[in-house]
Amino acid sequence: MKTNFSRVMATMALRFRDNLALVNVERDRRYSFAEYHRLTNRIAHMMRHALGLGAGDKVMLILENDNLSLLHFPAIYKQEATFVFSNLRDSQEEQARQIDHVRPKFVFIETRLVAEYRDMLAGRGCTVVAMDRSPDLPHDVACFWDLVEAASDADNDCELDVNEHTAILRFTGGTTALGKCAMYSIGHFLAMRDSFYLTTDLGYDEDTKYLAFTPMSHMSLMPFVATFFGGGATYTLNTPDLAQWCETVQRERITQSAMVPTLLYRLLDMNSSRTYDLSSLRTMIYGAAPIAPAAVERLVAEFGQIFVQLYGGSETIMFVSALRKREHRSDTEAARARLASAGRVSAGVELMIADLDGNRLPLGQTGEIWLRTQATIAGYYGNPEATAAEFENGYWKSGDIGYVDDDGYLYIVDRKKDMIITGGFNVYAIEVEGALAEHPAVLMSAVVGVPHPDWGEAVHAEVILRDGATATDEDLITHAKQRLGSYKAPKTVTFVAELPLSPVGKVLRRQVRQRYWAGRDRQV
């Protein structure tokens, strides 16, 4: 199937003409659907004609949310080149590795980074395009707005195969291993869009005002696509500043946003709903981890029953399960137990719990989660070894360990590589972290296996306490023993001021673990 996205968006521009489509908060740029359509037409013409890019060529984006929203899917789908999303918060060393892997011809970058990145990019044969005007731009660095304003805003004749054309390359998060380069077709993103409409709790329509807070190269891109096709407006923020997030919700009457649970806990700690008017919020999406049952009552009391947990992955970008708003309750033991789940599996998702040999396991048994959907990618760019290891018969082997109960609720027990084997027993880090999160003094934690002369590994926790709270290591160990039993509880606890986080806010257990296993030939 082929599509001409200029024509698709032209129809939307007629329907939603003067509705706001995009608002860049920090740069104070506002585009109606009609204006956004003309702008992305200009970008597509600029890519095709001024830069001479065509099928097979690649362009890397190292951008803040504001600028990335201009060079996102509407512009991408209107021309033939492949766009590579790099997270602005990745290190320059990691971005250099990504460039070496995909070999882009052009790199679009924030102007403030030009001086720092120019030599690295030039040494790799990349032409640099700076996003904002500046009198200090070197002669060999083009300015985005100069190129765009010289281009036509007319609809074009570009037709792309929604299944065969690789529109986007995006590097996976790498919380347990170095990131790999996922390949996405237009069809993958359309399947992802449709998955958001399957859950009526999310309610995308012309009144939606979605605030993109996490990087739009990753988690925030999914609600952005769904908001756009629903006729709503996306607002972008560049910095993870919760006070600014609250101010924007209050000023713009934001209806929807997305965060990881650790940020929701911080909103509680700062008494945000008492300081700001956040009453316009009707949906808060979260992922990456469940909300600790002990925190649900506080969150619902402060913000209302507006929370939806979504589970998915970079390799299958539709959400594959959802815990809906009305399921965020803890008034019965059954309801409280389900808060630890990722919700029920979405319609249209083929989910298999597999044993070590790839055989399907029955309900209630724990194994690796395999996923086959219309949004599951075919593999990794330039990495046949990883593709062969992680994909089989159209399934993506997620690396998540879990089970499905008799009522269809999916429980994520842990990441496959985060399992701790101590004295012959399997301990799942996420279960221990969940127990620690129920202690009133604990803000967040990372649980890892550390070397032990007798048991091979011992359970260890690094813990951040809430502001003003106190607890001893024995307090937390006793607390965990009461909830999990002695063999699962941490044997040792270290109190820390911060934990390493991925650009999208996930705790990087791998980095925590490496501190304890450095220099050892064998890491159990």
Q: What does the pLDDT look like over 467-493, one tens digit per residue?
A: 999 999 999 999 998 888 788 899 999
Q: Nearest CA to 3 among 76, 101, 99, 67?
A: 76
Q: What percentage of the chain carries pLDDT values higher than 70?
A: 96
Give the H or E element holding residue 9. Answer: helix 5-15
Q: What would the two tokens of residue 272 be?
A: 């945000």
At residue 287, the pLDDT reads 83
Among the residue ranges 174-178, 231-235, 366-370, 419-423, the one predicted with the least confidence is: 174-178
174 has pLDDT over 50: no
d(CA 170, CA 176): 17
Among the residue ranges 105-119, 154-168, 189-203, the one predicted with the least confidence is: 189-203
450 has pLDDT over 80: yes
List all residues 6 or more positions away from 388 whose beta carbon is below 8 Å from its beta carbon: none
Q: What length is written for the chain?
A: 524
- Strand ranges for 324-455 from DSSP E: 344-345, 350-354, 367-372, 391-392, 395-404, 410-415, 419-422, 425-428, 442-452
Label residue 260 exposed, middle or buried (CB < 10 Å: 0-12, 13-18, 19+). buried
Quick: pLDDT tens for 88-112.
Answer: 877 788 789 899 999 999 999 999 9
Which string of b and e fits 5-21 if b means at least 16 CB within 10 Å? Answer: bbeebbebbeebeebbb
Q: What would the two tokens of residue 409 be?
A: 């609720």
What CATH number should be reported for the domain whose range is 423-517? 3.30.300.30
Alpha helices in 123-241 (DSSP H): 144-149, 186-198, 221-229
Predicted confidence band of residue 454 (pLDDT cuts 50, 70, 90): low
Predicted confidence band of residue 137 (pLDDT cuts 50, 70, 90): very high
1 has pLDDT over 50: yes
Quick: pLDDT tens for 202-224.
Answer: 989 999 999 999 888 887 888 99
Q: What percentage of the chain carries pLDDT values higher than 90?
A: 69
Among the residue ranges 83-87, 308-312, 428-432, the one predicted with the least confidence is: 428-432
Residue 261: helix, strand or coil by DSSP?
A: helix
Q: Region 277-287: what's the mean pLDDT?
A: 94
Give the H or E element holding residue 301. Answer: helix 293-303
What's the mean per-residue pLDDT of the chain?
Answer: 91
List all residues 6 or more positions away from 472 whose beta carbon is below 8 Å from its beta carbon: none
At residue 482, the pLDDT reads 87
Cβ 105 vs Cβ 53: under 8 Å: yes
Q: Region 251-265: what's the mean pLDDT?
A: 90
Cβ 225 vs Cβ 189: under 8 Å: yes
Q: Region 163-185: what's the mean pLDDT?
A: 80
Q: Nearest CA to 265 among 438, 410, 414, 412?
A: 438
Residue 286 Cα distances to 42, 307, 503, angstroms: 35, 7, 15
Predicted confidence band of residue 175 (pLDDT cuts 50, 70, 90): very low
Quick: pLDDT tens for 374-431.
Answer: 999 999 999 999 999 999 999 999 988 899 999 999 998 876 777 787 866 778 888 8
Cβ 437 vs Cβ 464: under 8 Å: no
Q: What would the two tokens of residue 327 be?
A: 């399921």
Bridge-based pairing of strands 316-323 and 307-313 is antiparallel
Label residue 419 exposed, middle or buried (CB < 10 Å: 0-12, 13-18, 19+). middle
Q: What's the half-sphere exposure (Cβ side, CA atoms, 13 Å) at 463?
A: 33
Residue 73 Cα distances to 48, 79, 191, angstroms: 16, 10, 14
